[in-house]
């Protein structure tokens, strides 16, 4: 395992999320394949939890609090899809990213 | 409750004949519609086509909830109203249009703001509830009242060129709180009331997304099942009656 | 032709205000609508929402073609009409509804059957043509007249629980004949007139499919470009005026 | 190349086509990877043209003329998609099938 590896992840934004990302509905991102485990020097395979932090610090142009919550997950009202399915079916924050995964962030809408 | 009937009248058969011969629809589906009462909450952008098509297709009883009045700035997309009805209650105006289209549909006007104090008996009187409103507090209110009353909740929402459609609390699928246990921060909620979507929904639980400005305009998402630890619809719910939804959702909840 | 205006009136700004503030829409798109004339061919199941929403949204001039009259069996889904208008021309009835909704929209009634003998001047008088009809012969007629007149053709069709939406003859995309050079055998054509779909379309050429009874309800298909050897829109077209479409399509073409 | 190979092809039917196939909207088919070339004993890799003939003779329960035309292509009024795109972009009848391809047959609708 080469810790310099990156994973090719397709990020998509919908329901207004794209406004936080320069109005991009899709970003092809190279995401580190490994992240440091807190308070140790060990590395672990990248999870969605790591991805959310990584996006907030590297991709977000403005107001990260509209994307990430105080607990490090997405803020409430955002649904995450892993390859087309609700992330709850995939383990939520613990899901380990794979090369070429498609991760979608959808903000719930409230227009009637 | 709506009195069930055993067979359609001849005028009903003449009216719905084209649906009756539809493969996969037919007389049984028409009878199900005829013996069903539905409540459309909101007679705005989403509520307009919703009430028109449900009323036209032969729903036995259709309740329409809205406390707003018809304004000229609504007419560009709220097509169930018209210019002469400016100032009229939207629930009244929508009911008028449905009755002109189909006098066989019993239309009930609820010219009121749905709140914790009045929602439960209204919801309980219908078989299916359709959320066509535009604010977060009402979404949680409708969700909780539907879980408490055991009613499926069809939830539509639209903003600009995006739309979302989900059925909650239906056939072991999730309720709104299973997906969104806590309301979004108020600064993330925009109630622009512009856009539009309408569709159909299925097993397994799915959400349908519509986006007019992306290359894949539509996608269907497989959703989680009901969460056993949901405080509303889970195995040991902690919410057993309606709460204060404006406070729960924060100040933005009823802003338009 | 429709007289172009340079700015919206104050009543128009009040009416369309919610659209004007829509990101990605705004005043320029509204002016484009206002200075645009569109022809909706067919005031039935697809034509109903089409005419209502186009009229409401601020199209400057809206033509409606239909020779049928309103029948009780139409009302379950042709929501632009109503029970009191039984027997009235559908084009008239649709025009009435659009005018009630939006008096700023100039509505023109074409109470006639569109044929080779009369189609070209009617098509030529509009900027965009919308095919909301239900028979093969009229689809080819509209396609050919739109290619000859240089008009984009928005084509919707629906059958039972399926729907299809395509823009033809637009921005180097295909015409209907590029996709379907010869009409289908008459026994394969069913004009059940039941179902429904409405949507939006884009670059590159795509077809949007809707199916209410499959797990993936919607899909968008990338289509071929204009075919250089198309007899209608190709580099050396062999059809240079309208032909006999009923004969071309066989006996089933105008059956309902 | 083992001439006994089969390809896993997902066939989909839409716009009424499914009525010809016992109302199935989707069939997971095992299609021969090679077909005989006419009037020789040689075999060639399976094309969509071969697939259409194979479907007409092995899958169709009734009225094959509503599916296949006299020229061996689909009858007029049917659009074919190869992995989501108009088959004209892929070479129409000559397209060589690949394992796990998704081929969709859509009948044009004429309801209004
Ligand atoms: Zn729940
Ligand atoms: Zn062409």
Q: Cβ of C192 and D66 within 8 Å? A: no
Residue D102: inside a domain, yes or no? yes
8 A C-beta contact, residue B133 and residue B141: no
8 A C-beta contact, residue B242 and residue B141: yes
Residues of chain A whose beta carbon is less than 8 angstroms from a beta carbon of chain B are: 14-16, 25, 65-66, 75-79, 81, 84-86, 88-89, 106-112
- pLDDT-derived band at C214, boundaries 50, 70, 90: low
The H or E element containing residue D86 is: strand D85-86
Residue A45: inside a domain, yes or no? yes
* Bond prior to B204 in cis (omega within 30° of 0): yes
| Least confident span in C133-137, C213-217, D88-92 | C213-217
Cα–Cα dist B163/B53, whole Å: 18
* Bond prior to C204 in cis (omega within 30° of 0): yes
pLDDT digits (tens, 9 = 90+) for C151-191: 999 998 876 667 788 889 998 899 999 999 988 877 665 54
Residue A1: inside a domain, yes or no? no
Residue D14: inside a domain, yes or no? yes
Count chain B–chain C contacts defined by CB atoms under 8 A.
139
Cα–Cα dist C102/B72, whole Å: 9
Question: Can you give the CATH number for the domain in which A41 is found?
Answer: 3.10.20.30
Helix pair angle (C90-101, C47-57), 10° resolution: 30
Residue C172 C-alpha, separation from nearest chain D C-alpha, in angstroms: 15
Per-block average pLDDT, block size 10, for chain A (112 residues)? 78 85 90 87 92 94 85 91 90 95 87 72
Residue B70 C-alpha, separation from nearest chain C C-alpha, in angstroms: 12
- pLDDT-derived band at C221, boundaries 50, 70, 90: confident
What sign does the dihedral C93-C97-C103-C105 (CA atoms) show?
Answer: negative
Residue D18: inside a domain, yes or no? yes
Structure tokens at C97: 């509804």
pLDDT digits (tens, 9 = 90+) for C75-103: 999 999 999 999 999 999 999 999 999 99
DSSP C93-139: HHHHHHHHH-TTSEEEEE-S---TTTHHHHHHT-SEEEE----HHHH
Instruction: State whether residue C178 is helix, strand or coil.
Output: helix
Q: Tell me the HSE value of A56 on the side-chain side, using a 13 A CA sphere.
A: 19
Predicted ipTM > 0.95:
no
pLDDT digits (tens, 9 = 90+) for C44-79: 999 999 999 999 999 999 999 999 999 999 999 999
Beta strands in chain B (DSSP E): 37-41, 61-65, 106-110, 128-131, 153-159, 162-168, 206-211, 218-222
Task: Tell which residue, D47, D49, D27, D35, has the closest CA to residue D1.
Answer: D35
Cα–Cα dist B31/B6, whole Å: 8
Residue A39: inside a domain, yes or no? yes
Choose from B113, B164, B189, B227 for mutation: most chain A CBs within 10 A: B164
Residue D112: inside a domain, yes or no? no
Return mean pLDDT, chain C: 86
Cα–Cα dist B48/B94, whole Å: 7
8 A C-beta contact, residue C52 and residue C101: yes
For chain D, the domain total comes to 1
pLDDT digits (tens, 9 = 90+) for D30-45: 999 999 887 777 899 9
Q: Look at residue D95 and tell me whether its pLDDT is greater than 70.
A: yes
- Where in the sequence is the domain holding A90, given as residue range(s)? 6-107
Cα–Cα dist B177/B158, whole Å: 19
Residue A29: inside a domain, yes or no? yes
Show me where the domains of chain C are located: 16-254
Structure tokens at D44: 């060639």
Q: Cβ of A107 and B47 within 8 Å? A: no
Q: Look at residue D73 and tell me whether its pLDDT is greater than 50.
A: yes
Q: Tell me the HSE value of C39 on the side-chain side, using a 13 A CA sphere.
A: 27
Q: Which CATH superfamily is domain C16-254 in?
A: NAD(P)-binding Rossmann-like Domain (3.40.50.720)
Task: Tell me the residue length of chain D.
Answer: 112
């Amino acid at each position: 395992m080469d810790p310099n590896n990156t994973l090719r992840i397709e990020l998509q934004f919908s329901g207004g999320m794209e406004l936080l990302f320069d109005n991009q509905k899709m970003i092809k991102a190279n995401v580190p394949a490994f992240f440091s485990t807190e308070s140790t020097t060990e590395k672990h395979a990248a999870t969605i939890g790591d991805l959310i932090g990584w996006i907030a610090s590297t991709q977000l142009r403005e107001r990260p609090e509209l994307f990430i919550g105080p607990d490090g997950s997405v803020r409430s009202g955002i649904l995450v899809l892993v390859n087309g399915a609700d992330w709850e079916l995939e383990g939520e924050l613990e899901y380990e990213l794979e090369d070429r995964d498609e991760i979608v962030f959808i903000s719930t809408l409230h227009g009637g | 409750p709506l009195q069930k009937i055993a067979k359609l009248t001849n005028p009903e058969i003449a009216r719905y004949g084209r649906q009756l011969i539809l493969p996969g629809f037919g007389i049984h589906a028409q009878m199900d519609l005829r013996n069903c009462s539905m409540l459309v909450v909101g007679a705005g952008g989403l509520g307009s086509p919703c009430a028109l098509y449900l009323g036209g297709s032969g729903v036995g009883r259709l309740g329409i909830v809205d406390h707003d009045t018809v304004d000229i700035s609504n007419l560009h997309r709220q097509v169930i109203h018209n210019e002469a009805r400016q100032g009229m209650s939207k629930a009244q105006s929508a009911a008028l249009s449905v009755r002109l289209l189909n006098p066989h549909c019993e239309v009930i006007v609820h010219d009121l703001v749905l709140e914790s104090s009045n929602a439960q008996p209204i919801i309980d009187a219908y078989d299916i509830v359709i959320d066509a409103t535009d604010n977060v507090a009402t979404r949680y209110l409708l969700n909780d009242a539907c879980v408490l009353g055991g009613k499926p909740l069809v939830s539509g929402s639209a903003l600009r060129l995006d739309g979302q459609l989900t059925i909650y609390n239906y056939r072991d699928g999730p309720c709104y709180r299973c997906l969104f246990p806590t309301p979004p921060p108020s600064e993330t909620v925009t109630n622009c009331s512009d856009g539009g979507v309408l569709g159909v929904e299925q097993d397994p639980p799915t959400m349908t997304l519509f986006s007019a400005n992306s290359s894949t305009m539509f996608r269907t998402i497989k959703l989680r099942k009901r969460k056993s630890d949901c405080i509303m619809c889970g195995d040991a719910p902690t919410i057993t009656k309606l709460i204060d939804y404006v406070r729960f959702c924060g100040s933005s909840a009823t802003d338009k």
